A and B are shown apart, each in its own frame.
Chain A
Amino acid sequence: MTAPGPQSASTAGAAAAVGVRGVSMVYPGPVQALQNVDLDIPGGELTTLLGPSGCGKTTLLKIIAGLIQPAAGTVLVNGRPVQGPGPERAFVFQDFALLPWASVIRNVAFGLELRGVPVSEREAVAEKYIAEIGLVGFERKYPHELSIGMRQRVGLARALAVKADVLLMDEPFSAIDEQTRRKFQEDMLRLVSVERRTFVFVTHSIEEAVYLSDRIALLTPRPGRIWKIIEPRLSRALSPDQIRREPAYLDMVESIWHDLKHYVE
């Protein structure tokens, strides 16, 4: 990879699937949402952007997605600078962004439909991922016939179906009730290990971040900057229930809360 500029020699950059280089964002106001953010996101792992509300973590995710043009800096995906949305990245939306008039299978296959993949082929792919996320039997249902949790599974399957290297997930579980969310998080862990893709995950839940992440990028409040990188490294051999009782898990949640506490009024 020939990443241009002096940053190409940055640490851990070699295996980075996504490289954020000096990204700043200013909204009209002016509000400095992000200030000079540098971040390497390694491939094949789940990296979480965690921070207090208003720290610009969703903005950063949308800049990586190419949906927002940063005021300064660049984002590299697989070594190439991001100009806009691209097929190597797929987005999972906080409010799912499903087509209400389309069945589950058409929603899941929608990314492929836009690329002109023939019906039979794209439905075969969609069926595979519908099975993967556990919605077999719901292919011909419509979003309003599904529970909130199932809707987000459809959103996730749509992102998986386009075979993007990088999945960008914007608080995907925030609209989902507590019990469903726990189940979803457990499925998410399995998915990360099966799919071996790069996941970038935005959340404001410390527990969720520690439970799911290989790496956590902790952001400061506005203007958002990378404050520290935390690697939970919890043993994935443990069952989900065991992890949630692990001292290492509980200590890490506590220490992040300690870090963030003084930002919360």
Chain B
Amino acid sequence: MQIFGYRVPNAMSLLLWASAWEIVGRAEITILLPPLSSALGRLLEIVPTETFLAALAITLQAYFLGVGISILIGVPLGIIMGRSAWVDKLILPWVSLFVSAPLTALVPVIMVLFGFGETTILLTVVLFAIWIIILDARAGSRGISQSLVEMSRSYGATRWQAFIKIYLWAALPEILAGIRLGFVRAVKGVIIGQLLVSVVGFGYLFEIYSSNFLMEHMWALLMVLFAFAYALDSGMGALERRVEYYSANRS
């Protein structure tokens, strides 16, 4: 970035907005926005507390378990859909429906079925993450070149070998793109699930903070969640770039 001919580091904009936040906060314009420095101070204060760590543990467990289930079901299902016309016809309408549906509206239904507990949160994570993972794995497996498929047949690969040794790898760039999007959607899922259930994890903390107008706590919590989502997305992005070298020249 260049301003008046001077090179300005990109972090400058972050610093600028942080100062603006601090100034608005100190001006005490609204109770909703405490100064950044006190929110950060609160962050350091609440993170080591037992309630926070317990909430974090519940959240991370539901998150990674949910994402894991979504990957383990979504990737194979998507690959099979891409290779089999009738499985595709059977399942694609549902996947297309759910991938764009307002899923938040379904969470109360899950709540009725599975109660106000961790199962509901886990299922919410899966509900949010799985569709895009299926859809991208499907796209990747449809894109596998006909000659690779014929190669696996002519060299005598069993279905299982073709899946494990060829299809999975050939579709890997799309699969990873789908998992990356799934990770981000799963963050929404875990938070929305907890907010609606609101008796466990961060949802419980949000409930306490907001009902007691603890805005500094609230912002501190939000920063943790934003940082978490951002770190996951960057990590997946780095992983994707490692396999990009062959996505361009798959033959």
> Which positions in A face B, CB cutoff 8 Å?
62, 65-67, 84-87, 89-91, 93-101, 110-111, 113-115, 142-144, 158, 162
Contacts and interface: CB of A to CB of B under 8 A. Distances in A.
A143 B148 CA distance: 14
B154 A114 contact: no
B157 A67 contact: no
Interface in B109-156: 145, 147-148, 150-156
Contact of B156 (A97, A99, A101, A111): A111
B169 interface: yes
Main secondary structure of the interface of A (DSSP, over half): loop
B212 interface: no
B154 A91 contact: yes
A87 B154 CA distance: 8
B246 A93 contact: no
B241 interface: no
Interface of B: 145, 147-148, 150-158, 161, 165-166, 169, 172, 243, 245-246, 249-251
Given A99-B169, A100-B249, A100-B251, A94 B156 contact: no
A230 B166 CA distance: 40
A101 B172 contact: yes
Contacts of B249: 100, 143-144
Contacts of B157: 114
A87 B150 contact: no
A262 B154 CA distance: 36
A87 B246 contact: no
Contact of A111 (B147, B155, B169): B155
Contact of B147 (A66, A85, A94, A158): A94
Contacts of A101: 169, 172, 243, 246
Nearest to B169: A101
Nearest to A112: B155
B154 A99 contact: no
B156 A115 contact: yes
A72 to B, nearest CB: 22
Contacts of B151: 91, 93, 97
Nearest to B247: A100
Contacts of A94: 147
Nearest to B151: A97
Contacts of B156: 85-87, 111, 114-115
Contacts of B165: 113-114
- In the A-B complex, list the 10 residue pairs whose CB atoms are closest, starting with the nearest: A100-B246, A97-B151, A97-B147, A91-B154, A111-B155, A85-B154, A144-B249, A93-B147, A114-B157, A101-B169
